[in-house]
């Protein structure tokens, strides 16, 4: 694929919609940053696109805010189209991000995604159709560049899928600190249909950790652009502007930025080594891989994954706890593997003095609960610092 945006252009395209948040729907807005304006004209499109956030207050009063901007390509990107979508703010982010409120919806590629992301995207889809149709119906060769940060990255992923199916144009996706959008099927279909995916993250940003497995990132079993290494978990790493900040670290050319493989690895954890675990994105990933490995070893991975599409997230973890108990009862070897996983989860969640003395459904579900709460708590703090 040709004409990928330079990293500094892509990141400012993701950052610029924050400045248009309080503008009226259709009001013209021109980003103030040259990396974007030198390649795209935002005055020749339909103005700011509004969407409804997931917050209860917004639903009650039907409040909408500026979520997206569309630009028409010029100079080196003549014929292309730019779509920038912002993340949420601290007043509207709590509902769509809440694990307890999460459920599934069907995306435009007929796969299961997080319902909160899908609802926000659907609220802006008619306005997107109105602006993009005149630009793309007679322009099959133009590339659509979709960029977003945080929630905006999730929405840009959904928009990229829809644009590809609706207009057939080539699509490039650039996300920064984006959460996981959908289940395995969504990640596979996204990887297979979107022409280029640049999933950029800081190694210690907590937001890309959630929603947890069985949600996946796209490209599935591909690679991400690692802008800074994982040193723990830092809520400030989710910001666009604060140090390290996605704008600050997205410099140079794509080929010079570090790529990280995202293949699921076989991980089996030992209980007596649980204190090696720490509250970090590295260990969150290892815990996820260890759980997947356990289910795969026991031959239950496919059946458990299907359960998510049937009962939703909360029911899923009840079923998962029951499955893990059954696995522990299969053999002493599986029991040790389960004990090792739970012991590491307890240390990850800060319960370093709690020992694993039973492998019952009730205890396993409790360990899942406190682990998820620890992850979502720090991710919410990062969301509240969005800028």
Q: What is the pLDDT of residues 277-318, one digit of tens each?
A: 999 999 999 999 999 999 999 999 988 888 777 766 667 888
Summary mean pLDDT of the chain: 88
In which domain, by residue range, is 327 found? 271-378
CATH number at residue 227: 3.40.50.1820
Instruction: Give the residue with greater pLDDT, 59 vs 130.
Output: 130
pLDDT digits (tens, 9 = 90+) for 310-338: 766 667 888 999 999 999 999 999 999 99
Residue 1 has a pLDDT of: 47
CA–CA distance, 147 with 10 (Å, rounded to integer): 6
44 & 157 share domain: yes
Flag whether 71 is in a domain.
yes
Total number of domains constituting the chain: 2
* pLDDT tens, residue by residue, 166-183: 999 999 999 999 999 999
Query: Among 261, 69, 80, which residue's Cα sits nearest to residue 156?
Result: 69
Is residue 387 situated within a structural domain? no
pLDDT tens string 194-245: 999 999 999 999 999 998 888 989 887 678 999 998 888 999 999 998 888 9
Are 255 and 301 within one domain? Answer: no
Using the CB atoms, write b or e for 243-265: b if 16+ within 10 Å. ebbbbebbeeebeebeeeebeee
Residue 286 is assigned to a structural domain of this protein: yes
pLDDT at residue 55 is higher than 60: no
Q: What does the pLDDT look like over 253-272, one tens digit per residue?
A: 998 888 888 788 899 999 99
Task: Give residue 28's pLDDT.
Answer: 87
The answer on 213 and 277 residing in a single domain is no
**Quick check: is 384 in a domain?**
no
Among 247, 263, 279, the domain-final residue is: 263
**Residue 89 pLDDT level (bands cut at 50, 70, 90):** low
Give the SS3 label for residue 346.
Answer: helix
Tokens 């924050």 locate to 18
- Residue 238 covered by a domain: yes
């Amino acid at each position: 694929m040709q004409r990928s945006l330079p990293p500094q252009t892509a990141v400012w395209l993701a950052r610029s919609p924050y400045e248009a948040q309080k503008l009226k729907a259709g009001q013209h807005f021109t980003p103030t940053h040259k990396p974007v304006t030198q390649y795209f004209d935002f005055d020749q499109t339909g103005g700011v696109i509004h969407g409804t956030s997931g917050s209860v207050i917004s639903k009650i009063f039907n409040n909408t805010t500026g979520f997206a901007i569309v630009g028409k390509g010029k100079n080196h990107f003549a014929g292309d189209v730019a779509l920038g979508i912002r993340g949420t703010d601290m007043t509207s982010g709590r509902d769509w991000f809440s694990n307890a409120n999460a459920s599934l919806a069907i995306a435009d590629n007929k796969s299961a995604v997080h319902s909160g992301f899908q609802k926000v995207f659907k609220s802006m889809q008619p306005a997107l159709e109105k602006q993009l149709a005149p630009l793309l119906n007679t322009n099959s060769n133009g590339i659509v560049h979709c960029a977003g940060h945080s929630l905006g990255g999730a929405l840009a992923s959904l928009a990229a899928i829809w644009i590809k199916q609706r207009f057939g144009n080539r699509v490039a996706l650039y996300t920064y600190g984006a959460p996981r959008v959908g289940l395995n099927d969504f990640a596979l279909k996204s990887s297979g249909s979107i022409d280029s995916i640049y999933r950029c993250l800081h190694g210690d940003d907590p937001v890309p950790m959630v929603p947890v497995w069985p949600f996946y990132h796209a490209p599935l079993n591909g690679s991400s652009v690692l802008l800074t290494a994982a040193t723990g978990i830092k809520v400030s790493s989710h910001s666009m502007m604060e140090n390290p900040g996605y704008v600050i670290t997205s410099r140079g050319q794509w080929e010079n930025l570090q790529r990280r493989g995202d293949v699921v690895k076989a991980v089996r954890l030992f209980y007596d080594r649980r204190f090696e675990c720490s509250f970090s994105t590295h260990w969150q990933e290892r815990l996820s891989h260890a759980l997947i490995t356990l289910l795969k070893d026991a031959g239950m991975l496919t059946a458990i994954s299907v359960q998510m599409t049937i009962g939703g997230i909360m029911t899923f973890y009840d079923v998962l706890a029951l499955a893990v108990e059954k696995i522990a009862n299969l053999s002493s070897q599986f029991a040790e593997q389960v004990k090792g996983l739970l012991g590491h989860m307890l240390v990850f969640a800060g319960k370093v003095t709690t020992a694993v003395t039973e492998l019952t459904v009730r205890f396993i579900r409790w360990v899942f609960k406190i682990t998820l709460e620890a992850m979502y708590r720090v991710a919410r703090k990062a969301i509240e610092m969005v800028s």
